[in-house]
Structure 1
């Protein structure tokens, strides 16, 4: 066991203290800055560890980020697909967790819609458990986004972010993460009926740093012009469906276009990907000079490396 201490779990950003959140983001940015070093980005800080990668749902960036990151840190990796574990033959989640905890050091999981299963696995302290996306929150995406903002602007403090689209798990994680930085203003414009839950708003307000604001409206009137970042996500979140048959008509006004970006001409454009050009964003914006979405995707690996190190108590 690394450093002789308990493993640390990351099921929600709410599991992190302000200090731990900043430490992970700072470490991710540090690894990213060293990515061109021929000697390696971080060293073999996970040498001898075994990381399990268990994805029941599709993933390109998150799965690859944690797999590649673990290998770069010197860990061994075991990858499980949706049909590989005996959960499919009736073994209880509790028993599966006990077995894995005796063999793995970290389990990175994207499982069912409800994170309760991951909470069950996290009741022990031999194996760290990382939420690689649940229905209500995508914590490692927010950490990658905060890392990207740190690299781009030098600091997250005081940034102004305009988010357009569904109040999904990425938006929830952004609200939880950005609100922890002083002076940040997150302005969300979400379609009627598709906003953040009251719980997310309450939690963001409860943990907000000095001067941080999370504000949401369901229209496009009076868009702020002095924003640093415009952010959107895919309208059809992985593994979900919309209750309204005509939901695309409801979402259509919230598309990020060149005309919308012109409202904030100094802003960069972020997207957690995958993107659907012509739906939530036009190709002109996603492939334009203001977009940093693909840098954001690469930074997910560096952020994943920082998360793995933190889970193992490396800092």
Structure 2
């Protein structure tokens, strides 16, 4: 039994293994159906979710597990029961628990203190680790490698950006350029950690707060929605700050061979134009499908069956 709460919890070897396993599942090169036979998985989503909730539910069922789903109002934590007591009870009935919050990961750490139930972070305010595994699975499938890729991320330095930076920086020769609006960059601690990983691996991670001199020769152009799930922005004029960071076909002028990624949902005409999202170079919907294969890899690994 293993937990996946932060990308930082994974060793380089574990991260690579999860991405490679996700790619194997996506290529249908490994038989699935009984990897989690006899286990019971729970999903507890306190915030809305289309892709992540569906991907983990489908993954558990495809691997042979039984599934129990909890909504935001279903558990007695709403009436004052502690997370530790809740975890102790659930751990005597469930083998795996997938949790989405919009809050601090400390709650997931509390759930993980019991001894028999694996806990998976399906998104917290600071990280979205399984999204990064799906992203890297998509890159590995398309390019045949991750090492040496040039990735330009455009948009808010949110939880998806954080996990992507903490993951890509582990791979040799990767160049990751984050173009984030002023005041909406990566958490400085996350950026420092990614740059420390990069020093070891030989990668490069850089953050800029302008779209001037846009990416040249990128292999991947990536963006997310401007309004991250479960969050709001204090500045009533924040859209004016984000407007220059819209992904349009012009970004392909200097990187014509780049593929486009988006963790979805996309807001067409805001974070990305419809022309980009629907272009043959867009892998956004393949990337979305790969969330299921990444979830399969994560559940198998957390159950210590890989």
Give yes or no for TM over 0.5. yes
Contact kept, 8 Å, 2:38 with 2:64, in 1: the verdict is yes
Return the alpha-carbon distance in structure 2 between the equivalents of residues 205 and 52 of structure 1. Answer: 35
Contact kept, 8 Å, 1:157 with 1:184, in 2: the verdict is yes
Pick from 252, 260, 273 the counterpart of residue 251 of structure 2.
Answer: 260
Q: Which residue of 1 aligns with 2:63?
A: 73
Contact kept, 8 Å, 2:84 with 2:113, in 1: the verdict is no
User: In the TM superposition, what is the alpha-carbon distance from 1:141 to its structure 2 partner?
Assistant: 0.3
Give the alignment of 1:21-40 within 5 angstroms.
Answer: 21-34=15-28
Q: Which residue of 2 aligns with 1:95?
A: 85
User: In the TM superposition, what is the alpha-carbon distance from 1:254 to its structure 2 partner?
Assistant: 0.4
Pick from 9, 14, 17 the counterpart of residue 8 of structure 2.
Answer: 14
Count of residues in correspondence between the two structures: 305
Which runs of 4 or more aligned residues in structure 1 lie more than 6 Å from their structure 2 counterparts after TM superposition?
A: none
3-state SS of 2:23 partner: helix
Structure 1, unaligned stretches of length 5 or more?
A: 1-6
Pick from 25, 49, 71 the counterpart of residue 39 of structure 2.
Answer: 49
User: In the TM superposition, what is the alpha-carbon distance from 1:149 to its structure 2 partner?
Assistant: 0.5
Matched, 1:115 2:105: yes
Contact kept, 8 Å, 1:175 with 1:186, in 2: the verdict is yes
Return the alpha-carbon distance in structure 1 between the equivalents of residues 103 and 32 of structure 2. Answer: 33
Matched, 1:311 2:302: yes
Pick from 228, 235, 239 the counterpart of residue 226 of structure 2.
Answer: 235
Q: Which residue of 1 aligns with 2:115?
A: 125
3-state SS of 2:201 partner: coil
Pick from 199, 203, 217 the counterpart of residue 189 of structure 2.
Answer: 199
Deviations 1:154-190 (A, max 9, x none): 1111100001000000000010000011100110000
Contact kept, 8 Å, 1:138 with 1:169, in 2: the verdict is yes
The two structures have a TM-score, normalised by structure 1, of 0.95
Return the alpha-carbon distance in structure 1 between the equivalents of residues 272 and 225 of structure 2. Answer: 9
Bigger mean CA deviation after superposition, 186-195 or 218-227: 218-227
User: In the TM superposition, what is the alpha-carbon distance from 1:261 to its structure 2 partner?
Assistant: 2.0
Q: Which residue of 2 aligns with 1:278?
A: 269
Pick from 80, 105, 129 the counterpart of residue 139 of structure 1.
Answer: 129
Pick from 277, 289, 308 the counterpart of residue 280 of structure 2.
Answer: 289
Matched, 1:300 2:291: yes
User: In the TM superposition, what is the alpha-carbon distance from 1:125 to its structure 2 partner?
Assistant: 2.5
User: In the TM superposition, what is the alpha-carbon distance from 1:260 to its structure 2 partner?
Assistant: 1.7
Return the alpha-carbon distance in structure 2 between the equivalents of residues 95 and 261 of structure 1. Answer: 52
Deviations 1:52-75 (A, max 9, x none): 000010000000000000000000
Contact kept, 8 Å, 1:32 with 1:41, in 2: the verdict is no
Return the alpha-carbon distance in structure 2 between the equivalents of residues 243 and 264 of structure 1. Answer: 34
Return the alpha-carbon distance in structure 1 between the equivalents of residues 239 and 215 of structure 2. Answer: 24
Q: Which residue of 1 aligns with 2:175?
A: 185
Return the alpha-carbon distance in structure 2 between the equivalents of residues 27 and 42 of structure 1. Answer: 12
User: In the TM superposition, what is the alpha-carbon distance from 1:197 to its structure 2 partner?
Assistant: 1.2
User: In the TM superposition, what is the alpha-carbon distance from 1:41 to its structure 2 partner?
Assistant: 4.5
Return the alpha-carbon distance in structure 2 between the equivalents of residues 225 and 255 of structure 1. Answer: 17
Return the alpha-carbon distance in structure 2 between the equivalents of residues 41 and 296 of structure 1. Answer: 21
